[in-house]
Amino acid sequence: QKEVEQNSGPLSVPEGAIASLNCTYSDRVSQSFFWYRQYSGKSPELIMSIYSNGDKEDGRFTAQLNKASQYVSLLIRDSQPSDSATYLCAVDRSNDYKLSFGAGTTVTVRA
Amino acid sequence: DVKVTQSSRYLVKRTGEKVFLECVQDMDHENMFWYRQDPGLGLRLIYFSYDVKMKEKGDIPEGYSVSREKKERFSLILESASTNQTSMYLCASKTGDKQYFGPGTRLTVT
């Protein structure tokens, strides 16, 4: 089992719709969870971090965490063509400096 | 803003060559990381450093070494480049629990 798994995609959504990205992780003691956005040919950029169960909202982005289910998600509301990118889920490894990354989900927003 | 720079955006080397990839951060961060990114495999950790002259192996250290002589600079070394080391190499610097990435080096080994 991979440490971090994401829905493989690609995910295509129309402009203005909600894009829903899912991530599960295997290390039950993980405490910190991150979403990175990576445009084609660019490096990953941190867009959200979440540490507690529940929802965290930042503009059009909402991260959701459920530690009991070992599940973290990212919702993109009112999707825009500029949101077209690969989204990487990252999970800390028991606070030993390192992160484990999922393979990413590619999102395409259709105008 | 955190700034992480890498010495080259694109690099082409021949099999057997020794290759140096440089990474510099300007925020006095203690922790720095080297990853490679391949399609379908995501980011995989090669090495990381939590202080000057301190280093630890990541998940895929074979064929690589690192050097950290100064806090701001973390170098990845391919001792004898092979074609299976063709990849995108990403350096990251960490503050708190957040990692910030450099622009990446696309290395092709022929």
- Residue by residue, DSSP assigns A3-17 as SEEE----EEEETTS
Q: Is the pLDDT of residue B1 over 80?
A: no
Quick one: pLDDT at residue A58? Answer: 95
- Pairwise CB contact (< 8 Å): A43 & B102: yes
CA–CA min distance B23, chain A (Å): 14
Task: Name the percent of chain B lying above pLDDT 90.
Answer: 78
Whole-number mean pLDDT of chain B? 93
Task: Name the percent of chain B lying above pLDDT 70.
Answer: 98
Quick one: pLDDT at residue B98? Answer: 83
Q: Is the pLDDT of residue A1 over 70?
A: no
Residues in chain B, total: 110
Q: Which residue of A has its CA nearest to B95?
A: A97
Q: Which residue of B has its CA nearest to A10?
A: B40
| Between residues B97 and B3, the one the model is more confident about | B3
Quick one: pLDDT at residue B2? Answer: 67
